[in-house]
Amino acid sequence: MLPIRQILVPLDGSTTAESSLGHARAVARPLDVPLHLVRVVPPSAASDRDGAQDPVRWRLERSDAEAYLAETARELRDDGFETETAVLAGRPAEEIVSYARRNGVDLVVLSRRGKDGCVGAPMGGTAYKVVYRIGTSVLLTPPGTGTASRDEVRYRRLLVPVDGSPASEWALQAAASLLPGRGGELVAARALELESSDSVRGPRRDAEAFLARARRRVSRPGLRLDEVPVVPADQAAGRLHVLAEERDVDLIVLSAHGRSTDVPWPYGSVATNLLLHGRRPTLVLQDQPEPRFAEPPEREKPVRRPATGRRSPQAGTSAPGSGGASPSDP
- CATH number, domain at 62? 3.40.50.620
Amino acid occupying residue 40: V
Lowest mean pLDDT segment, chosen from 33-37, 100-104, 266-270:
266-270
In a domain, 265, yes or no: yes
pLDDT, residue 261, reads 61
- Residue finishing a domain among 277, 293, 315: 277
- Would you place residue 52 in the very low, low, confident or very high pLDDT band (cuts 50, 70, 90)? low
Contact between residue 116 and residue 324 where contact means Cβ atoms under 8 Å apart: yes
Report yes or no on 211 lying in a domain. Answer: yes
Across the chain, what does the average pLDDT equal?
Answer: 78
Residues 239 and 137 in one domain: no
Residues 163 and 249 in one domain: yes
* Cis? peptide before 297, omega within 30° of 0: no
pLDDT at 317 > cutoff 50: no
Last residue of a domain, one of 150, 168, 202: 150
Q: Could you tell me if 138 and 51 lie in one domain?
A: yes
231-276 pLDDT, tens per residue?
676 788 899 999 999 999 999 999 998 776 666 678 888 898 999 8
To the nearest 10°, report the CA torsion of 96, 98, 102, 108: 40
Q: Are 287 and 265 in contact (CB under 8 A)?
A: no
- The answer on 166 and 90 residing in a single domain is no
- Say if residues 13 and 40 touch (Cβ distance below 8 Å): no
Looking at per-residue confidence, does 298 or 134 come out higher? 134
Q: End of a domain among 135, 150, 165?
A: 150
Q: Are residues 31 and 137 in the same domain?
A: yes
Residue 296 lies in a domain: no
When pLDDT is cut at 50, 70 and 90, the band that residue 320 belongs to is very low
Do 54 and 114 lie in a common domain?
Answer: yes
CB-count exposure of residue 190 (10 Å: 0-12, 13-18, 19+): buried
Question: DSSP characters for 243-304?
Answer: HHHHTT-SEEEEESSTT--S-SSSS-HHHHHHHHH-SS-EEEE---SS--PPPPPPTT----
9 with 50: CB under 8 angstroms?
no
Do 179 and 146 sit in the same domain of this protein? Answer: no
- Asked if 116 and 325 touch (Cβ cutoff 8 Å), the reply is yes
Three-class SS state of 227:
strand
Range of the domain at 76: 7-150
* 111 and 146 share one domain: yes
- Annotate 168-184 with DSSP letters as a single string: HHHHHHHHHHHS-TT--
Q: Are 287 and 260 in contact (CB under 8 A)?
A: no
User: What is the identity of the amino acid at 231?
Assistant: V
Dump pLDDT digits (tens) for 103-150: 999 999 999 876 655 555 567 888 889 998 998 999 999 875 444 445
Residues 322/40, Cβ–Cβ less than 8 Å: yes
